[in-house]
Structure 1
Amino acid sequence: MFWLTRVRSNSMVPTLPDGSLVLTRSLRRTTPVRRGDLVIVNSRELGEPMVKRVIGLPEETVMITAGAVSIDGRALSEPYASPSVFSNSFRVPPDHYFLLGDNRDVSTDSRSWRDTYIPRNAIVGRILGWPWAWQTKGRVHS
């Protein structure tokens, strides 16, 4: 199934500015989730869907040092991410994911959520049309 998602924050700038309308495809529970995917997550903590980028996969160690991300000791190239001063380390549990916004010092994401890691069943869609995102007025959900 496909649907349109409206981005309702600046957490994904510059990739998806506030107000962007993007094509989203639902994910079956068996559909693989890959690093770099832009996904729609049903957040129990915030009570609304959110758009974030998949950074850490199950059982990986994500290290962030002054904004630079490495996965299991290997630097991750992130040309889409804004500079950040954040530093910390995270070990992703099985069947969970570590998600970040592209606008790192503005985004509320796995670094600040009470439930740091997102279970696979909370990832409900993948954005397909993000390179062709367009802006319109009004808000639907993010």
Structure 2
Amino acid sequence: MHINFPLLLVLAVVITGLLALIDLVWLGPKRRRARAVYEAKVDVADPVVLERMGKEPLLVEYGKSFFPVLLVVLVLRSFLVEPFQIPSGSMKPTLEVGDFILVNKFAYGIRLPVIDSKVIAIGDPERGDVMVFRYPNDPRINYIKRVVGLPGDRVSYAGKELFINGEKVPTSVVEVKLDEDLPAGHPMQNIAEVRILEEQLGEVEHHIRVERLARTPAAQEWLVPPGHYFMMGDNRDNSNDSRYWNAPDMPRELWGMVPDNYIVGKAFAIWMHWPEPKLRNLPSFSRVALIH
């Protein structure tokens, strides 16, 4: 079950705002009139009675207290910055499971909350951006990948090498090590190698992860249609992304490219790492960094 938090937040703002408005235009003046009538009838007003007559109903009191807080949260989350937690390793080594990230909500345009309709165009995704978007097969789920192909690009992937518009994307080896993700006792634990490569996508230099023994998919080429983006995870052999759009032989759920109206925002910083949010496991701030 997926909770539509943006919708709940909007409803909370509307309800608390209505309570505050009702008190402003009706309940508040009614209380003041009642106090004025009481004070006119008695020689000495009882302070306890005055306090009771001026007291706001509990629901109104809570509504007026929470409305400004919820409104600020709605504005910040909808138009400025939204936090997310990384649930999988598809973006390793850039992002680890348990990283808490910040996403710029206005980098690609101002969108209305809940309906996600763009009302003000500001910029477009650029090759190399790490982008959060709604999963095309289930828009209630947020995904995060790297922008590889822009509208009109020809993207090819062959022999675990990436080509854009016929040109190989340059890479260089940073590190070769054993696969740390294999569980203890795995038969391949001592021979399965992982290569960490530095890749240059547009103006962005970043690291990707490639497993030597992982299956090499058949060479494919895609043409990115207008208004869409070709997305790939930095953990190239363990990422469900745009490469599997027309590859029925791959054991992954097919979803293709990301339309513009499914974009959430640009990830720009890691602010905390907490793989298991429990009281006995405290968060770490050792991974605080800008995302490239």
Please give the per-residue CA displacement for 1:93-137, whole angstroms capped at 9, x wherever unaligned: 0111100001011100111253311111111110011xx453113
Cα displacement (A) at 1:138: 4.3
Which range moved further: 46-55 or 9-18?
46-55
Whether 1:60 and 2:200 are equivalent positions in the alignment is no
Cα displacement (A) at 1:65: 1.1
Whether 1:117 and 2:249 are equivalent positions in the alignment is no
Q: Distance in 2 between matches of 1:18 and 1:51?
A: 12
Percent identity among equivalent residues? 30
Return structure 1 stretches of 4+ with deviation > 3 angstroms. none
Taking a change above 3 Å as real, the CA distance of residues 13 and 107 of structure 1, as seen in their structure-2 partners, is: same
Q: Which residue does 1:70 correspond to in 2?
A: 163
Q: Which residue does 2:239 correspond to in 1?
A: 107
Aligned residues: 137
Q: Distance in 1 between matches of 2:148 and 2:88?
A: 19
Structure 1 length as normaliser, TM-score?
0.87
Q: Which residue does 1:98 correspond to in 2?
A: 230
Structure of higher RCO (CA pairs closer than 8 Å, 6+ residues apart): 1
Q: Distance in 1 between matches of 2:267 and 2:210?
A: 23
Q: Map of 1:1-142 to 2, 5 A cutoff?
A: 1-26=80-105, 27-28=108-109, 29=118, 30=121, 31-46=123-138, 47-77=140-170, 79=198, 80-83=207-210, 85-86=216-217, 87-113=219-245, 114-129=254-269, 132=270, 134-138=272-276
Structure 1: tracts of 5 or more residues without a match: none
Structure 2: tracts of 5 or more residues without a match: 1-79, 110-117, 172-197, 199-206, 246-253, 278-292
Q: Distance in 1 between matches of 2:271 and 2:169?
A: 24
Structure 2 length as normaliser, TM-score?
0.44
Please give the root-mean-square deviation of Cα atoms over the aligned residues, in Å.
1.8
Q: Distance in 2 between matches of 1:23 and 1:42?
A: 16
Q: Whose Rg is larger?
A: 2
